[in-house]
Structure 1
């Protein structure tokens, strides 16, 4: 099982407004697009993204206004070390709303929001393309179960943690992941709160070596059988973590004409 994080998917109310926001402010380019019956899927990412870098998938369902729940946290994008304030100010000059500036975050990171209210953290990294996806944060109700899910089901490693008085953050990623690859941030609050999933948060996608063999392995490891390969025309599949976060499983031919298996 390769296990590289391929993309993270969010739903948006106005496709053109969202595309304009990400292309204008984060310099993303459209990698591929699929027009379905009543919906559109667009893959976005930096022009020079690494082959193991993750894309942002934007899904627009006609006539729907997605609800951002609190089980979904944010995506994080990279800027060079020491240039956080410059890039944050650039976004402010471009008209992006001031949500959490670097000063309010101790000069270590900052946050903005896209047109649908999806939070975007800005982090400083020595590697990775400008604005490339660094991690996706989701909230979990049991840290032990969440870490067990990613380490046992997918063979991920815990590569970092931050434990505060009221919460903890745990970072997981595949063994020997490229520096440019995206990781998953699991946020656990100690007060026993529960979360609303909403429908603006879609899923994480894990790239596999062999969809059917790796699906069988996940079933052996007692992953949730949510949408098996056969029910998805043997093009992809879905499982869920212990909190109900959806995880897509897909094989990816990086040399194919289309990123979509349809």
Structure 2
């Protein structure tokens, strides 16, 4: 199954405020927009993007504030090796909220927050455009089940892990993914805690070659039938992982005039 991570969707309370934040501080540009009945969807990303690079999807529902849960962790964005402090100080000068500075993270990474409190990690990479999405982190309640879900149902590879005294991080991505592609980080805390999804985080989206065929394969592999293709006019579909994280499947023509299938 070809399941490149296409985008991560977050919900925001104030569309213009969020767009200004990401366009000003991360230098994102608007890739496409869809105005629905009572909601707006905007795709964002760096000006230059690798074909396997992931976008950030911002969704705003009119008249609704969003509530953060703790089942979702953060998105991570890239800056060049050796430039973490420089880019972090630039964000501070621009008035971005100081959440976890490089010094408190051993000089390896840092965290800031967007207007709704979504955590944005800054990591150092020598691949991908500056500020491009590096990974999305979600929390899981059973590491074996989570790894099994992604490796069995989507044929992802475990490409890295870090095990500490109280938690572990596991990184998974499609086989033969480009270095510029986004990875998925699964965080497992050993204390047996449970998590709340909230509504500020939306979903992960996988770009597939054959929506109906890949969906049938997922059903055969016992993935939850949450929103099948036929319930979405065969434009996209949704399943859920073992913890309730929503996962969209979408065919995308990279040469099409619009990024949206509708």
Question: In the TM superposition, what is the alpha-carbon distance from 1:23 to its structure 2 partner?
Answer: 0.1
Q: Please state whether the residue corresponding to 2:120 is helix, strand or coil.
A: strand
Q: Please state whether the residue corresponding to 1:138 is helix, strand or coil.
A: strand
The equivalent residue for 1:103 is: 103
| Runs of 4+ with >2 A deviation | none
The equivalent residue for 2:166 is: 166
* TM-score, normalised via structure 2 length: 1.00
Unaligned 5+ runs, structure 2: none
Q: Residues 34-91 of structure 1: CA distance to partner in whole angstroms, max 9, x if unpaired?
A: 0000000000000011110000000000011110100010000000000000000000
Question: In the TM superposition, what is the alpha-carbon distance from 1:165 to its structure 2 partner?
Answer: 0.2
The equivalent residue for 1:64 is: 64
Q: Aligned Cα RMSD in Å?
A: 0.3
The equivalent residue for 1:136 is: 136
The CA distance in 2 between the partners of 1:97 and 1:140, in whole Å, is: 27
Q: Please state whether the residue corresponding to 2:66 is helix, strand or coil.
A: coil
The equivalent residue for 1:2 is: 2
The CA distance in 2 between the partners of 1:143 and 1:63, in whole Å, is: 37
The equivalent residue for 1:41 is: 41
The CA distance in 2 between the partners of 1:77 and 1:204, in whole Å, is: 16
Question: In the TM superposition, what is the alpha-carbon distance from 1:2 to its structure 2 partner?
Answer: 1.1
- Give the paired residue count: 262
The CA distance in 2 between the partners of 1:103 and 1:76, in whole Å, is: 18
The CA distance in 2 between the partners of 1:214 and 1:197, in whole Å, is: 26
The equivalent residue for 1:19 is: 19
The CA distance in 2 between the partners of 1:35 and 1:119, in whole Å, is: 26
The CA distance in 1 between the partners of 2:66 and 2:215, in whole Å, is: 30
The equivalent residue for 2:122 is: 122
The CA distance in 2 between the partners of 1:97 and 1:112, in whole Å, is: 6
The equivalent residue for 1:32 is: 32
The CA distance in 2 between the partners of 1:82 and 1:58, in whole Å, is: 30
The CA distance in 2 between the partners of 1:241 and 1:121, in whole Å, is: 23
The CA distance in 2 between the partners of 1:163 and 1:65, in whole Å, is: 36
Q: Please state whether the residue corresponding to 1:99 is helix, strand or coil.
A: strand
Question: In the TM superposition, what is the alpha-carbon distance from 1:140 to its structure 2 partner?
Answer: 0.2
Question: In the TM superposition, what is the alpha-carbon distance from 1:159 to its structure 2 partner?
Answer: 0.2
- Which aligned pairs between 1:145-184 and structure 2 lie closer than 5 A? 145-184=145-184
Question: In the TM superposition, what is the alpha-carbon distance from 1:97 to its structure 2 partner?
Answer: 1.2
Question: In the TM superposition, what is the alpha-carbon distance from 1:3 to its structure 2 partner?
Answer: 0.6
Q: Please state whether the residue corresponding to 2:122 is helix, strand or coil.
A: strand
The CA distance in 2 between the partners of 1:139 and 1:57, in whole Å, is: 20
The CA distance in 2 between the partners of 1:221 and 1:136, in whole Å, is: 24
Q: Residues 223-254 of structure 1: CA distance to partner in whole angstroms, max 9, x if unpaired?
A: 00000000011000000000000000000000
Q: Residues 145-204 of structure 1: CA distance to partner in whole angstroms, max 9, x if unpaired?
A: 000000000000000001000000000000000000000000000000000100001000
The CA distance in 2 between the partners of 1:98 and 1:44, in whole Å, is: 23
The equivalent residue for 2:194 is: 194
